[in-house]
Amino acid sequence: MVREIDEEIMEERELQKQELEDPKKRWVLKMVKSAKRYHKLCPYYDKKTGMCLLMITVEGVQGKCDRDGRYDGCPVFNKFLEKVYDSYKSRRKVLPNDFQDVVNQAYII
Ligand code: SF4
């Protein structure tokens, strides 16, 4: 039992290490961390309607946020940041270091 738990912990650490070695994932994590400095709730969450303003850009369909605006670990939010990363890389532009530089990109990408 203890051995199984140890193996699970080792696998989890290995996965985290691999994620940190991936520059795209590292940048996405950095932006999420930066976003937390400015936004308690997701900046793309419409509190009045509960709609996700990113869904149409990322998924191609309109939809409601099923996370009440909690963006940490949100697949839509992360996918958006990955798209931003790809867009910057394809245009050979310098990646933003601060989430505020990204915040308006939803309507550009
Ligand atoms: S689904 Fe994710 S990206 Fe969309 S509003 Fe909710 S937390 Fe934000």
Compute the distance from residue 78 Cα to the ligand 1 centre, in Å: 9
* CA-nearest residue, atom 1 of ligand 1: 65
CA 82 to chain centre: 7
- Annotate 30-42 with DSSP letters as a single string: HHHHHHHHH-SS-
Compute the distance from residue 72 Cα to the ligand 1 centre, in Å: 9
Q: Give the mean pLDDT of the chain.
A: 88
For the CA of 58, the nearest atom of ligand 1: 3
Highest mean pLDDT among 5-14, 26-35, 95-104: 26-35
- Going by C-alpha positions, the residue among 33, 53, 29 that lies closest to residue 104 is 53
For the CA of 55, the nearest atom of ligand 1: 4
Compute the distance from residue 50 Cα to the ligand 1 centre, in Å: 9
Q: Report whether pLDDT(107) > 70.
A: no
Token pair, residue 15, equals 């996965």
Residue 19 pLDDT? 65
CA dihedral angle for residue 8, residue 12, residue 17, residue 20, rounded to 10 degrees: 170
Residue 98 pLDDT? 94
CB 45 near ligand 1, within 6 Å = yes
For the CA of 42, the nearest atom of ligand 1: 8
CB neighbours of residue 31 within 10 Å: 24
Residue 2 pLDDT? 67
Amino acid at 83: K
pTM, two decimals, is 0.81
Residue 109 pLDDT? 54
Q: Report whether pLDDT(3) > 80.
A: no
